Structure 1
Amino acid sequence: MVRSPGWLTRNHGNSTSPISARRMAISSREFSDRMRPRVVEAFHPTRPACTAHPLTGSVNSIMFSVEEASAAILQRAETRAATRRGIVEACGLVLAEDVVSDVDSPPHDKAMVDGYALMAADLRGEIANLRVLEEVTAGSVPTQTVIAGTAIRIMTGAPIPSGANAVVMVEETRSTTNAGQDVVTIESTGIAAGANILPRATSLRKNDTVLTSGHLLRPMEIGLLAEVGRAEVDVVPAPRVAVLATGDELVPASESPADGQIRNSNGPLLQALVTRAGGIPRSLGIARDQPDALLEKIKLGLHEDILLLSGGVSAGVLDLVPAALAAAGVEQVFHKVELKPGKPLWFGCLIENHHPRLVFGLPGNPVSSLVCFELFVRPAIARMSGRRAGAPHHRTGLLTRGHSQRGNRPTYFPSILSEEEDRLTVSPIDWRGSADQRSLVRANGLALFPAGDHDYAAGDAVLTIPL
């Protein structure tokens, strides 16, 4: 039997918790044979072959850079097949067809103000008294024609009657009645033809392409779709993302943890990140540190487009995720990235019926999970959603105080980003490691400090990623 030290530690959220080694009652031969990972050729063709650990089956390979890892992920993230949705339901999704207008807009010359439609030539004198023929409201059609000396009372949006070529605002007129005839009196030095009239097809013309495939549908686009008669459109559906936390020490947020336990904070964190990124999260709860139980949960998650696992991807005896994923048929692409925090990141892919399912094994610490999500998972969700995908948007900011960077991995440091006098300032927070979730709440961005030992001074420029 595998014999481990009496207590092991692993972190999945807000504290470090002792974990009994007794939970892993499986022989090294059985574990290695049943759950040894299969490794696919990784993104970088010059990487040496990976080798499996003889006891745990974990794969040890040279770490990928952030850029290499991003490229490997996006190579495998395919845009989902289009589906038909009602236009309100389609809001927030990417259009998968070109949309052509079936009408002119506006469909007629229309009044832009409440007032009187008339002939501009009638207002060449100082005072004009015009006979009012009728009133036209929005939704009705004029029945009479404007001629010299006449006007038609008109409401905003109503069609301009024949013969009229201008509209005078009602505030500039005075209405009277003379022998039962409505008369409008206008004191004016003149008005230009076309005043206060929106000509037909000013906004769009029939058969115009008003939206093209790849356009993100916001509420404004939904209104336009309705205007051109589209109740349904083809869109790229949001990817479905399963979220699974692993570890015997975890309990749901609604429960009080006993000695040696912590609440599952990463699961809700990742679900919220998925929602904000445009995906549809599905919680799979907590998987215990038992190979069969973990494998069962993983198989459920592989029904979705993306599976996110939290914890269990480091090098400990109880870090079972890579081997369990291999047993489920997921092929490893890489394990470990030159990154701090987030080094243990695992990524693999399962292809069924030509449909790739992406799997991310995220570190158990919340800051590590957040950094890995922003750098790698969010762009994958964007690509699968039909949106533009790539590296997160970086902005250059100026440090408000000194900062010491140490180590051979680039560090993404939780920071407070502020706009001050047309410049971005960066204040690294007092961060107590990748499990410090309370400090993370104060951060609204990440500051990138490249690998290597360097002492930064206040005013030095650094790259940042807004959160």
Structure 2
Amino acid sequence: MAASRLETKMLTVAEAHEAIARCVAPLPPTRVPLSDLLGLRLAADVTATLDSPPFDKSVVDGYAIATTDASPALHEVELITAGGVPSQPLRPGATIRVMTGAPVPAGADAVVKWEDCQVLGDGSIRNPAAQVKPGLCILRRGAAFHAGEVLLTAGRRLGPLEIALLAEMGCAVASAVPRPRVGVLPTGDELVEPGQPAGPGKIRNSNGPMLAALLAAAGMTSVNLGVGRDDPADLCEKMARGLEQCDVLLVSGGVSAGVKDLVPGVLAELGVTEQFHSVRVKPGKPLWFGTLPHDRGRPSRLVFGLPGNPVSTLVSFRLFVLSALRALAGEPYAAPSTEAATLASPITHRGQRPTYHPCRSSRDGGGRCIEPLPWKGSADIATLTRADCLAALPQGDYELAPGDAVQVLAL
């Protein structure tokens, strides 16, 4: 029997990654408000515009003194709170009370905690200068960083601390690589939305909500394009809208070799160039990938045609789509990493495609141990909800015993 089109053009997992990597480039940087920067990557170095702290400040509640002052007692002449400004320099025989974070007045070179000072009957304090070294409890101007210093470099992923640093410098916006906009289009006449009755021959749309959740968990922006019917005109309208609005289009279903697998043909009519159609992997063999050049100076739009079964969709997303999305968002392109683990029970593999088998893992003193789950095929999402990783089983016919080493991909 002649090999099918999917079989003859099947790529290995590594070859598929190479093909995707050749087509991916970071999105053009844009000015992003501080409140929207979490998880993004800087597009340019950030240089300090001021010293931090911008003044000598007290790190305790106490009394600012001059260690060279030989007066036996010091009279309080002013109180400075955080946010306040000294109205006068410190003079001999005087002390200025300061709160934590307040500027240290000119003439003072130490701050003594109030609880370490002895208050005399007239309200003055006994001068502790003889027991104090200059600089006590003072954070000097520029101790953290100086104006002109590069604090964050291009490519840095922005977390809460980086955002706090930008705020300290007064940055209300920063140049960053934006989140990719990803259109989600599940297809099939059999699909009905959750909450709607599923009549004879119908199933509910699980891929759409799952892909939206996967995108949200990855920090991406999803665009709901509805459900595409097995009709060229309907698919064309929805996919054209997705290509216009989004950087990436994820289409699930309709990409294999059946009578109603219309997606590749419609994409070709829309000008999308097929890069590959089929990967030597289980589940997820009929993965389709293509590109559409952008006419507005942006990288080519990416299109992934994902298999319709939910487990295949998830594995394809985790194996390939996520790497492309992260590269669009400014990360170096990289295939997902795996981790070594040992089997807790035996597993048998048959076939000439590498298989990603759902497993549940635990950790003991010897490392990660995994229990293969009884998987019932590419539509068995229920089993996958009990899994936290996928065992990467190489192609071939073999059996693995408890204690054998395998590589696992985290879910």
User: Is 1:340 equivalent to 2:282 in the alignment?
Assistant: yes
Deviation at 1:305, TM superposition (A): 0.9
Indicate conservation of the 8 Å contact 1:110/1:199, yes or no.
yes
Instruction: Note the alpha carbon deviations across 1:90-130, whole angstroms, 9 max, x for none.
Output: 2222211222211100011111111122234679xxxx753
Aligned residues: 407
Partner Cα distance (2:384, 2:64) in 1: 63
Alignment partner, residue 196 of structure 1: 137
Residue type of the alignment partner of 2:218? A
**C-alpha distance 252-135 of structure 1, shift in aligned 2 (>3 A):** same
Partner Cα distance (1:168, 1:422) in 2: 53
Partner Cα distance (1:150, 1:329) in 2: 81
Deviation at 1:385, TM superposition (A): 0.8
**C-alpha distance 146-432 of structure 1, shift in aligned 2 (>3 A):** same
Equivalent in 174, 192, 195 of residue 233 of structure 1: 174
How do 1:22-421 residues align onto structure 2 when only pairs under 5 Å count?
Answer: 61-120=8-67, 129-146=73-90, 150-178=94-122, 182-185=123-126, 190-303=131-244, 304-353=246-295, 355-421=299-365
Instruction: Note the alpha carbon deviations across 1:401-437, whole angstroms, 9 max, x for none.
Output: 2222222111111222333337222222222211111
Partner Cα distance (2:73, 2:410) in 1: 64
Deviation at 1:392, TM superposition (A): 1.0
Q: What is the SS of the residue equivalent to 2:407?
A: strand
Instruction: Note the alpha carbon deviations across 1:133-179, whole angstroms, 9 max, x for none.
Output: 3212112222344456543211111112223222222232343441x
**C-alpha distance 111-318 of structure 1, shift in aligned 2 (>3 A):** same
Partner Cα distance (2:158, 2:310) in 1: 32
Indicate conservation of the 8 Å contact 2:52/2:146, yes or no.
yes
Indicate conservation of the 8 Å contact 2:74/2:95, yes or no.
yes
Deviation at 1:461, TM superposition (A): 2.1
Runs (5+) with no aligned partner, structure 2:
none
Runs (5+) with no aligned partner, structure 1:
1-50
Residue type of the alignment partner of 2:252? S
Partner Cα distance (2:393, 2:3) in 1: 32
Alignment partner, residue 34 of structure 1: none
Partner Cα distance (2:127, 2:340) in 1: 60
**C-alpha distance 228-422 of structure 1, shift in aligned 2 (>3 A):** farther
Q: What is the SS of the residue equivalent to 2:293?
A: strand
Partner Cα distance (2:3, 2:178) in 1: 38
Moved over 6 A (4+): 186-189
Indicate conservation of the 8 Å contact 1:239/1:385, yes or no.
yes
Query: How big is the alpha-carbon RMSD for the aligned residues of Structure 1 and Structure 2?
Result: 2.4
TM-score (norm 1): 0.81
Partner Cα distance (2:322, 2:121) in 1: 69
TM-score (norm 2): 0.92
Of Structure 1 and Structure 2, which has the larger fraction of its residues in strand?
1
Q: What is the SS of the residue equivalent to 1:433?
A: coil
Equivalent in 383, 386, 396 of residue 452 of structure 1: 396
**C-alpha distance 52-407 of structure 1, shift in aligned 2 (>3 A):** closer
Deviation at 1:197, TM superposition (A): 1.4
Percent identity between matched residues is: 46
Partner Cα distance (1:393, 1:52) in 2: 32
Partner Cα distance (2:133, 2:392) in 1: 60
**C-alpha distance 428-195 of structure 1, shift in aligned 2 (>3 A):** farther
Instruction: Note the alpha carbon deviations across 1:310-346, whole angstroms, 9 max, x for none.
Output: 1111222221212221122111111111111111111
Indicate conservation of the 8 Å contact 2:6/2:286, yes or no.
no
